[in-house]
Structure 1
């Protein structure tokens, strides 16, 4: 099978989606530490980390949405 320019796999959007997932997990940990749900940290009980974590979660959701849009646009047939 010859792999020419029209048959190459489309792997667009995976980096943005992966970074978005990492941002959501890290933001969740920071939020839980800021709310003092995860104790024994320098960030525990400090409200600023709950706010920063929530913002990072929102940024992660945005990155996942961008990655999904790139994937869907890359799957359109090439003519």
Structure 2
């Protein structure tokens, strides 16, 4: 279960970062480039991903004897 939280958190963080960069126009080349919606949704998804990542790591550390 812990590895699932860590992997999911990492993927969400990466996706959120990419969406943010596309939304603000730094990463061009897609339909999401320059669209304000992705500049708002991206950081929200990234923060959720960081929270899941931290939760998974904390659970893993507590599970060790």
Q: Does 1:64 align with 2:32?
A: no
Alignment of 1:9-48 (within 5 A): 12-48=1-37
Tell me how far apart the structure 1 counterparts of residues 53 and 27 of structure 2 sit (CA, whole Å): 26
Q: Deviations over 1:2-60 (max 9, x none)?
A: xxxxxxxxxx5111011111111111110010001111211111111011110011001
* Counterpart for residue 3 of structure 1: none
Structure 2 SS opposite 1:40:
coil
More helix by share: 2
Tell me how far apart the structure 1 counterparts of residues 54 and 32 of structure 2 sit (CA, whole Å): 29
Which of the two has higher C-alpha Rg? 1
Which consecutive unaligned segments of at least 5 residues does structure 1 have? 1-11
Q: How many residues are treated as equivalent by the alignment?
A: 65
The CA RMSD over aligned residues, in Å, is: 1.0
TM-score (norm 2): 0.91
